[in-house]
Chain A
């Protein structure tokens, strides 16, 4: 066997997250069991100490997000993970992290809700993830993998973007991607210019300035200034960090758009549709915040119809509509979460055909 042969590993989506965290230099993980992501704390409970890191199964998701806040404030790369009900509990802590400009990675493997809901896949926490699920008016970086390889690569990206922009970053997956197994290449950590964490609390020696990590801003005009500063930073994110994938786009007159699990099924359906001569393409956003608005707007210049497909009654579709404005019509097909509600490629192919025929 050649020594330069690339090694492929057959891993579960959730485990790929853990592997990537280790590769990215995550030194602290704080989590709590919840289906469908308990593999992440289980994996890290075995592996993190081997890398000199700290694993704590916290008393609750609230405990975990606050431990993340503390570790991040002290300059460490740290991560937590959960699913719907636990992400709801974490909102206060995430808001504090956003207000304090703290980096940190939060993995959300979506399950059905609201409430206790169920454990099958869902995309109905898109709003919670992308619209600032906690109070105060902030956004977090949201990355949406659709494969085990992306669970790995996007987790590493989440650490980097979070450190660069001092904004918490979420990896937004769902039970299907978390639980599926695929072969991946465990890419090494990419070399990225990272700013020094010169703001971190460190227990400084004499004569050095005090560092305070806080979100309380009571000074005259202080809070307003902070909001505009973050607004500008979100704009910078939009200008520099949008990621998306286009497929079968060449002469597309109808563009299917979906993220995560739905995008994989939609990809198969698009191929089936192309075989029947339907001029359909696929637009898959990878960054849900910043949402690749300009990419959608650019597509809408030549393609006047989109079909958004989600595992919900329609959340991302609003952002697609905002991005294309009046330049294109956005149709929608939804499969709200629930057992057995994962569509088949045939089902989506039928929807594409139906939409296509209505355009004629």
Chain B
């Protein structure tokens, strides 16, 4: 009898603080699997951001730098330029990356920094209790859009994978989801490709992962999971938007 599925070595054997049904855990695992597959855990520096993913260092068995809210791509730039021989990745939520951090992500992508950005989009600010995020969908009720997001007042949600795919400095930009086994397997492949870009020095790589936030959506895990497929994917299509090295 052989064990054919186990926790990746890059992930610590600990309980996480993530809510039941939160897809952060799945994304963490897939990133851990990518680090294992390329054998790069020993060379990797993670950059944690502010949000539910702030405890990155508690879950990944790699050296980690904590960054201020939104600044992870700039912190990662500094770390990678100081240590170009290391693998540097950021892990950010939608408020962190697409609100306060919009300048840092666009410019690090535009400069084509040799880093990998993992962006978890759950259309809400999780850690702080479910406020409206830059990716909150039109009509979506949150604690700061109690009548539903009004595009006329707040603008439309950002589509980050597409936005960044327009920048020449970007090597790889893709959007994935974790709401079904098929999508998880595809996400696994895309996340590995993103890290392959950095390992093979092919440029800036970006993964947007659509995720559920059952607690702040006021839904149980299975209904929240369903929302990803029924509401989010039609608006934020899955796929590869830029793949300059054709990996």
Q: Is the CB–CB distance between B81 and A54 below 8 Å?
A: yes
Bound CA span A100–B79, Å: 15
B59-86 vs A, CB cutoff 8 Å, 1 = contact: the mask equals 0011111111001001111111111001
Beyond A59-B104, A70-B82, whether A204 also contacts B42 by CB under 8 A is: yes
* Residue count of chain B within 8 Å CB distance of chain A: 35
Q: Is B87 part of the binding interface, using a Cβ–Cβ cutoff of 8 Å?
A: yes
Residue of B nearest to A80 (CB): B78
Bound CA span A30–B73, Å: 14
Which residues in window 46-75 of A have CB below 8 A to B? 54, 56, 58-60, 62-64, 66-75
Q: Is the CB–CB distance between B83 and A74 below 8 Å?
A: yes
Which residues in window 45-66 of B have CB below 8 A to A? 45, 47-48, 54, 57, 61-66
Chain B residue numbers with a CB within 8 Å of A216 are 54, 66
* Residue count of chain A within 8 Å CB distance of chain B: 40
Which residues in window 1-53 of B have CB below 8 A to A? 41-45, 47-48
Q: Is the CB–CB distance between A28 and B64 below 8 Å?
A: no
Residue of A nearest to B42 (CB): A205
CB distance from A79 to the nearest CB of B (A): 11
Chain A residue numbers with a CB within 8 Å of B43 are 203
Q: Is the CB–CB distance between A203 and B103 below 8 Å?
A: no
Contact of B65 among A62, A73, A76, A92 (CB under 8 A): A73
Segment from A140-148, A207-215, A270-278, A308-316 that makes contact with B = A207-215
CB distance from A187 to the nearest CB of B (A): 26
Q: Is the CB–CB distance between B57 and A214 below 8 Å?
A: yes
Chain A residue numbers with a CB within 8 Å of B80 are 70
Q: Is the CB–CB distance between B79 and A74 below 8 Å?
A: yes
Q: Is the CB–CB distance between A68 and B57 below 8 Å?
A: no
Chain A residue numbers with a CB within 8 Å of B82 are 27-28, 54, 70-71, 74-76, 78
Bound CA span A100–B65, Å: 9
Chain A residue numbers with a CB within 8 Å of B79 are 70-71, 73-74, 201
Beyond A70-B79, A71-B81, A201-B45, whether A214 also contacts B74 by CB under 8 A is: no
Q: Is A93 part of the binding interface, using a Cβ–Cβ cutoff of 8 Å?
A: yes
Bound CA span A334–B15, Å: 60
Chain A residue numbers with a CB within 8 Å of B66 are 96, 100, 212-216
Q: Is A202 part of the binding interface, using a Cβ–Cβ cutoff of 8 Å?
A: yes
Q: Is B192 part of the binding interface, using a Cβ–Cβ cutoff of 8 Å?
A: no
Chain A residue numbers with a CB within 8 Å of B106 are 59
- For the complex with contacts A27-B82, A67-B75, A73-B78, 7 further pairs of A-B residues with Cβ separation under 8 Å are A56-B111, A59-B106, A66-B75, A69-B75, A71-B82, A202-B86, A215-B66
